[in-house]
């Protein structure tokens, strides 16, 4: 029985980590085609990636998109989470489910719907469309993580501030915000990673010349078959893991999700 | 010159949604008085206190503090302090900043702010703890910070919501006398909410017993302890033997509903009645007996040094009218 359990566990771990190891190994290949096992080891593709102009551009766009849309999502998400947590808003459960729908609805549907019924009719520029879509995608994470950290803050602490003379707004900035700071940081990191790695929605909304890094990689794979994509994938995976690990160390990220 | 009607509450009705928690409450408190609101959970005492603080809006009625109608004044403008049961300290601020919070909101100049905050910290005996965060303090120390934070802004009225219930027994006694000292030194009017009768009796100038959103009885601690007016209050302050008028062993008196005795008032070993010992518990300084009588069960307590009775033994007992509390209502 115990051996069976260990076997299942090992299989799961292999299944989760295996693809990453394969990609990482392929990216370290010394050969000129994407193969596994790699033909010798070298860092040449890793270094080559940094010199590719198109990837550099889409990387910068992805970065701005992730930072901008997460910041916007927090601007809406933090007050929303606070309102839902503290006030007897009518239809509160319904609103919670609405806020969480972007997590449930498949990205491909959301992307198509946005394109057909918002971007095209309104004639939105590509970057605006991307920002809006990513903001919508990140809001659920912002609301959820901030809600979790609001639950750690007792409401009587806010009442104490009011009784000592603070207004409701003053209380929010003097007492609530400093105490959910870590939650907001955690939400930011999750939102950043979510936006940065986003594929299905971006797929519909990116246009010629303006594209996010994952979409750019997808496109270039169709006609380039060298290990540069594997090298870049491994680098991105490492970046995401590093961000989340640092966040876990500093904030205890897993408490919020 | 102290004001007899420092706080006046008239016909106060409070409700949560459809549930009425307090109904037509009238209450007057004099300046400098320490009043305890005593009652079991759900009697409306905490709700009343929250309404005085401005944390809930009354459905009906008026609250007047020092001549000013504060019924519709916002909580942050009422000049009322509140010490929470959970202390509710600001977790991200040091002891000093917790205490200085209200002063900063009042834009008190820096020198005065430091002087007043330090004075308040000294008053509750926390000198040297100024830089600590709340989570680095014990429960008793947190309680002191909460007190200092409330009194430093010099509220006209200080409300305390079960302030000692989260402390252990010894600390509770210590804080009790500190509260009394603080009240004497500052002369601040206090309303103390508690479900613990011994705390209310020990601390307060006046005790107001509440039940189902109304006042059941009010008076000095001695009034409440020795002369409860109803069965409810009598039970609440430890009268365990309550018999309706006209039943065993009582005379049929028409102006009372019931008579009540504390276990200590029951005389064992002599008297006109007979009973059988059902149980005996040794309490250290006393022995408590459960006795079956023709009129029901009687709880009696005798000093540990007195004669002991065995289980199933038949004893004589007396419920002296002189030591009974006469209860006018339920």
Question: pLDDT tens, A117-168?
Answer: 888 888 888 888 889 999 999 999 899 889 988 988 899 999 999 999 999 9
Q: Which of A14-28, B91-105, B186-200 has the lowest mean pLDDT?
A: A14-28
Cα of A135 to nearest chain B Cα, Å: 30
Q: What is the pLDDT of residue B324?
A: 87
- Cis check for the bond before B160: say yes or no (omega within 30 of 0): no
Question: What is the DSSP code (8-state) at residue B5?
Answer: T
Classify residue B1: in a domain, yes or no: no
- The total domain count for chain B is 2
Same domain? B67 vs B120 = yes
Report the CATH number that the domain containing residue A152 is assigned in CATH.
1.10.3720.10
CA distance A187 to A145: 6
Buried b (16+ CB within 10 A) or exposed e, A71-89: ebbbebbbebbbebbeeee
- The total domain count for chain A is 1
Report the CATH number that the domain containing residue B68 is assigned in CATH.
3.40.50.300
Same domain? B147 vs B218 = yes
Give burial (CB, 10 Å; 0-12/13-18/19+) of A100: middle
Same domain? B25 vs B174 = yes
| pLDDT > 60? residue B1 | no
Q: What is the mean pLDDT of residues B180-188?
A: 88
Return the closest-CA partner of residue B204 out of B39, B4, B34, B46: B34
Provide, rounded to the nearest whole percent, the portion of chain B with pLDDT above 70. Answer: 98
Q: What is the mean pLDDT of residues B293-305?
A: 90
Q: Are B285 and B303 in contact (CB under 8 A)?
A: yes
Same domain? B54 vs B185 = yes
| pLDDT tens digits for range B47-94 | 999 999 999 999 999 999 999 999 999 999 999 999 999 999 999 999
Buried b (16+ CB within 10 A) or exposed e, B11-22: ebbbbeeeebbb
Q: What is the pLDDT of residue A54?
A: 82
Contacts of B84 in chain A (CB under 8 A): 156, 159-160
| pLDDT tens digits for range B102-159 | 999 999 999 999 999 999 999 888 999 999 999 999 988 999 999 999 999 999 999 9
Question: Does any CB of chain B come closer than 8 Å to the CB of residue A175?
Answer: yes
Contacts of B91 in chain A (CB under 8 A): 153, 157, 179
Q: Of B232, B254, B277, which marks where a domain is finished?
A: B232
Tokens of B75: 């909580």
Contact at CB, A175 and B102, closer than 8 angstroms: no
Q: What is the pLDDT of residue A257?
A: 60
Q: What is the mean pLDDT of residues B5-34?
A: 91
Question: What is the DSSP code (8-state) at residue A165?
Answer: T
| pLDDT > 60? residue B164 | yes
Q: What is the pLDDT of residue B247?
A: 76
Domain carrying residue B265:
240-327
Of B249 and A59, more confident? A59
Same domain? B220 vs B264 = no
| pLDDT > 60? residue B16 | yes
Domain carrying residue A117:
53-255
Question: Does any CB of chain B come closer than 8 Å to the CB of residue A166?
Answer: yes
Closest residue in B to A177 (Cα–Cα): B92
Tokens of A171: 């209380």
| pLDDT > 80? residue B253 | no
Same domain? B144 vs B195 = yes
Coil vs helix vs strand at B24: strand
Q: What is the pLDDT of residue B76?
A: 93
- Of B77, B84, B106, nearest to A160 by CB-CB distance is B84
Classify residue B2: in a domain, yes or no: no
Q: What is the pLDDT of residue B298?
A: 92
Same domain? B52 vs B135 = yes
Mark which residues 80-99 of B lie under 8 Å from A by CB.
Answer: 80-82, 84, 86, 88-92
Q: Which of A142-146, A233-237, B16-20, B49-53 has the lowest mean pLDDT?
A: B16-20
Classify residue A97: in a domain, yes or no: yes
Return the closest-CA partner of residue A162 out of B81, B167, B177: B81
Q: Are A82 and A176 in contact (CB under 8 A)?
A: yes
Classify residue A5: in a domain, yes or no: no
Same domain? B80 vs B198 = yes
Contact at CB, A162 and B153, closer than 8 angstroms: no
- Of A163, A167, A175, nearest to B90 by CB-CB distance is A175
Phi first, then psi, for residue B56 (nearest 5°) are -135, 150
Classify residue A46: in a domain, yes or no: no
Classify residue A134: in a domain, yes or no: yes
- Cis check for the bond before B249: say yes or no (omega within 30 of 0): yes
What sections of A87-125 are H helices per DSSP? Answer: 92-104, 107-114, 120-122
CA distance B119 to B166: 26
Classify residue A177: in a domain, yes or no: yes
Contact at CB, B102 and A153, closer than 8 angstroms: no
Could you tell me the pLDDT band of residue A256, with boundaries at 50, 70 and 90?
low
Contacts of A162 in chain B (CB under 8 A): 55, 75-76
Helices H / strands E in chain A, number of each: 14, 0
CA distance B55 to A162: 9
Coil vs helix vs strand at A49: helix
Phi first, then psi, for residue A156 (nearest 5°) are -70, -20
Same domain? B129 vs B221 = yes
Q: Are A198 and A134 in contact (CB under 8 A)?
A: yes
- The C-alpha angle B135, B137, B141, rounded to 5 degrees, equals 135
State the average pLDDT for chain B: 91
Q: What is the mean pLDDT of residues A17-43?
A: 83
Cα of B83 to nearest chain A Cα, Å: 8
- Of B80, B91, B92, nearest to A163 by CB-CB distance is B80
């Amino acid at each position: 029985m115990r051996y069976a359990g260990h076997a299942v566990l090992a299989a799961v771990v292999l299944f989760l980590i295996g693809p990453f190891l394969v990609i990482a190994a392929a990216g370290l290949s010394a050969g000129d085609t994407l193969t596994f096992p790699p033909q010798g080891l070298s860092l040449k593709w890793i270094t080559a990636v940094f010199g590719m102009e198109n990837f550099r551009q889409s990387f910068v766009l992805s970065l701005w998109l992730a930072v901008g849309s997460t910041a916007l999502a927090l601007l809406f998400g933090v007050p929303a989470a606070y309102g839902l947590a503290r006030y007897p808003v009518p239809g509160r459960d319904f609103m919670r489910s609405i806020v969480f729908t972007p997590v449930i609805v498949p990205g491909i549907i959301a992307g198509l719907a946005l394109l057909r019924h918002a971007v095209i009719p309104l004639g939105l520029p590509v970057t605006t469309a991307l920002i809006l879509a990513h903001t919508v995608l990140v809001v659920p994470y912002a609301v959820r993580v901030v809600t979790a950290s609001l639950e750690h803050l007792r409401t009587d602490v806010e009442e104490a501030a009011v009784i000592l003379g603070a207004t409701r707004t003053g209380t929010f900035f003097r007492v609530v915000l400093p105490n959910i700071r870590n939650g907001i940081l955690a939400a930011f990191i999750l939102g950043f990673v979510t936006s940065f790695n986003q594929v299905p929605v971006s797929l519909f909304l990116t246009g010629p010349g303006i594209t996010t890094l994952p979409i750019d990689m997808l496109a270039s794979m169709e006609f380039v078959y060298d290990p540069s994509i594997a090298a870049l994938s491994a680098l991105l995976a490492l970046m995401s893991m590093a961000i989340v690990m640092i966040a876990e160390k500093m904030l205890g990220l897993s408490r919020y999700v | 010159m102290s004001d007899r009607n420092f706080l006046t509450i008239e016909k106060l009705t409070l409700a949560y949604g459809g549930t009425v928690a307090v109904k037509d409450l009238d209450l007057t408190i004099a300046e400098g008085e320490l009043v305890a609101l005593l009652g079991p959970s759900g009697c409306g005492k905490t709700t009343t206190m929250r309404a005085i603080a401005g944390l809930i809006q009354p459905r009906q009625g008026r609250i007047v503090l020092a001549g000013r109608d504060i019924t519709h004044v916002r909580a942050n403008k009422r000049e009322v302090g509140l010490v929470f049961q959970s202390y509710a300290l600001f977790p991200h601020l040091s002891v000093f900043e917790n205490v200085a919070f209200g002063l900063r909101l009042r834009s008190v100049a820096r020198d005065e702010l430091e002087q007043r905050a330090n004075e308040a910290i000294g008053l509750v005996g926390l000198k040297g703890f100024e830089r600590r965060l709340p989570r680095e303090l014990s429960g008793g120390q947190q309680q002191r910070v909460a007190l200092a934070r409330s009194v430093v802004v010099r509220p006209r009225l200080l409300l305390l919501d079960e302030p000692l219930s989260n402390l252990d027994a010894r600390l509770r006694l210590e804080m009790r006398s500190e509260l009394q000292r603080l009240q004497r030194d500052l002369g601040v009017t206090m309303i103390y909410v508690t479900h613990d009768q011994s705390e209310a009796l020990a601390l307060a100038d006046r005790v107001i017993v509440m039940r189902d959103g109304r006042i059941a009885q009010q008076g000095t601690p001695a009034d409440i302890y020795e002369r409860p007016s109803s069965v409810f209050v009598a039970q609440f302050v430890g009268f365990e033997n309550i018999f309706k008028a006209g039943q065993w062993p009582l005379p049929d008196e028409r102006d009372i509903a019931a008579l009540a005795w504390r276990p200590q008032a029951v005389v064992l070993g002599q008297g006109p009645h007979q009973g059988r010992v059902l149980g005996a518990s040794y309490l250290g300084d006393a022995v408590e007996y459960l006795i079956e009588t023709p009129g029901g069960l009687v709880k009696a307590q005798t000093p540990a040094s007195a004669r002991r009775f065995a289980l199933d033994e038949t004893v004589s007992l007396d419920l002296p009218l002189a030591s009974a509390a006469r209860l006018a209502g339920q």
